[in-house]
Amino acid sequence: MHETFLSEQGTLQVPAEILKELEAKPGTPFVWDIRGDGSLYVRAKTTSLAELAGMLKPPNGKSVSIEEMNPFR
């Protein structure tokens, strides 16, 4: 577990070990969310949506066109 403190300027420093594990680089955006139970969730956005393209393959090699996906055809 790592502990950091809020600076006089209102900033927090993320420990180097955590940044390394997250593969965060300068400019990496972090998303902050307060959950209903009061806990804080912080996530580094190290993967872009474009990098996820093509990672899911259609079952049994079957694919459909955009037109076939349209429910109002």
Q: What pLDDT digit, counting tens, does each position of 40-71 carry? A: 999 998 877 777 777 887 777 788 888 888 88
Q: Cβ neighbours of residue 73 under 8 Å, at least 6 residues apart? A: 67
Residue 54 domain flag: no
Number of domains in the chain: 1
Four-residue CA torsion sign, 13, 16, 17, 19: positive
Where in the sequence is the domain holding 32, given as residue range(s)?
22-49
Question: What is the pTM (predicted TM-score) of this model?
Answer: 0.56
What are the structure tokens assigned to 22, written together?
């997250």
Asked, for residue 39, whether it belongs to a domain, the answer is yes
pLDDT, tens only, 32-41: 999 999 999 9
Phi first, then psi: what are they for 33, rounded to 5°?
-145, 130
Q: What percent of the chain has pLDDT over 90?
A: 58
